[in-house]
Structure 1
Amino acid sequence: MNMMPPRAAEPIVPHDRASLPAGRAPALVRELTAVDRERLLAHFLALDEDDRLLRFGQIVPDHVIENYVRAIDFTRDTVFGVFNSKLELTGVGHLAYLPAEGDKRTAEFGVSVLESARGQGIGSKLFERAAIRSRNSHVTVLYIHCLARNTTMMHIAKKAGMKIEYAYGEADAYLTLLPADQSSIIAEMLQEQAAVFDYALKRQARHASRLFESFLPTAAAA
């Protein structure tokens, strides 16, 4: 694909905590590994036909999703996720690095959020994390390709100040990124630490809940 030169970079605006629904904490984004592959598969299989169309550009059957998840190379691409209290992936962002063209490195971003978790800013947080990772890995252009009717992706692209081109019901969005600096490196490190800590707390609470539930039948019989 011949990409048009993107416009000058604009800052990624962090998601405003005040815009979240009352009582909801901001989504914390953790980098995923091959250990999370089964949860990734469960996330994508939970998408309905319309969501699969918006995420993959076509309605894909389960076996295609299974092949896609099995083929993800976590040493080549970067995948991010947001977990709920049940340790289910409610949002997933996939950052795929495209072949370099001279000094220009491009990464393509794709995102999906479960219907039950929408309206919480998860898609925006995944994009912000992908953008800062792209900067810190020397990517110069962040790219999104999606259907033009994908209002969520269009909102994220416009909010980030991306250059958007429309053709035949599809849209391509581009954002030129600033080079990495100390603040971007530290910001990503702190975000990952917070997300890892949050995941550990949720896992501990999940294990405690299961342990408590395992004693319920015994207590009832006594």
Structure 2
Amino acid sequence: MHTISTQADEPLVSPGHSPVMIRVLTSADRERLLGHFLALENDDRLLRFGQAAPDHVIENYVRSLNFTRDTVFGVFDHQLQLVGVGHLAYLPADGNGRTAEFGVSVLESARGQGIGSKLFERAAIRSRNTHVTTLYMHCLSRNATMMHIAKKSGMKIEYAYGEADAYLSLEPADQSSIITEMLAEQAAAFDYALKRQARQATKLMESILPHAVAV
């Protein structure tokens, strides 16, 4: 299933929320990705994939992800649950132009924090730095949130039969875009390491405390 549709949360960051840290995922994250997509409600799956997506379809989709060919982004909460996912799929080159298609999903519990918008921005930077000239999204036209993100980003939108295609022309990579992506990935890796250490410390305390109380 190479065609990607979109579903996301509100694009604006609410006051008081922590910065959204976005890490590039690898094949080692495949099981967490599966858990993320299976946690989506039926309507969210429809918005994400553009069609009904029962569990076996999602399982096939996750197994088929090629982390070498495409780029998959993830946002983790403090319990290391994958609450936001962005998939940047590179389409076959057309002459001198190169197009990438972007799809995004955010768990209901994590919406309203700007995760969908930040994943889109991160994907745009990666697209520029990998010589993509057009960033493309396909979604149902009733997907108001993605339509808002597309309009806010200045994408050209075409509507037909209840669906929408959005296109964004990208500037070539420059020193600023390269440094921005490098710093973002370093910050996300550091943030993930801190969350993992905190999670491990919590589990250790939970295993010790019952014994301490018993003594």
TM-score, L = length of structure 1: 0.91
Which residue of structure 2 aligns with residue 13 of structure 1? none
Identity over aligned pairs, percent: 77
Alignment partner of 1:69 is 2:50: no
Counterpart in the other structure of 2:40: 47
Query: How far apart, CA to CA, are the structure 1 residues paired with 2:13 and 2:180?
Result: 21
Cα distance in 2 for partners of 1:42, 1:121 equals 21
- Map 1:120-135 onto structure 2 (within 5 A): 120-135=113-128
Structure 1: give runs of 5+ residues left out of the alignment.
Answer: 1-15
**Per-residue deviation, 1:151:** 1.1
Contact 2:84-2:105 within 8 A present in 1 as well: yes
For 1:157, the equivalent position in structure 2 comes to 150
CA deviation profile, 1:13-64 (whole Å, cap 9, x unmatched): xxx9xx6334311211110000110110000000000000000001111011
CA RMSD of aligned residues (A): 1.3
Question: 1:148 touches 1:171 (CA, 8 Å); kept in 2?
Answer: yes
Question: Runs ≥4 in structure 1, deviation > 4 angstroms?
Answer: none
d(CA) in 2 for partners of 1:59 and 1:93?
19
The equivalent residue for 2:13 is 20
Would you say the 8 A contact 1:108–1:143 is kept in 2?
A: yes
- C-alpha distance in structure 2 between counterparts of 1:59 and 1:145, whole Å: 16
Task: Verify the 8 A CA contact 1:26 1:121 in the aligned structure 2.
Answer: no
Listed as ranges, the matches of 1:1-222 within 5 Å are 20-222=13-215
In 1, distance between residues paired with 2:13 and 2:104?
A: 19
SS at match of 1:146: strand
Question: Residues of 2 paired with 1:157 and 1:83: CA distance?
Answer: 24
Residue 11 of structure 1 corresponds to none
Whether the aligned pair in 1 keeps the contact of 2:14 and 2:114 (CA below 8 Å) is: no
Give the TM-score normalised by the residue count of structure 2: 0.94
Q: 1:38 and 1:216 mapped to 2: Cα distance?
A: 30
Structure 1 CA distance for aligned equivalents of residues 19 and 13 of structure 2:
7
Distance 1:216 1:114 in 2: 32
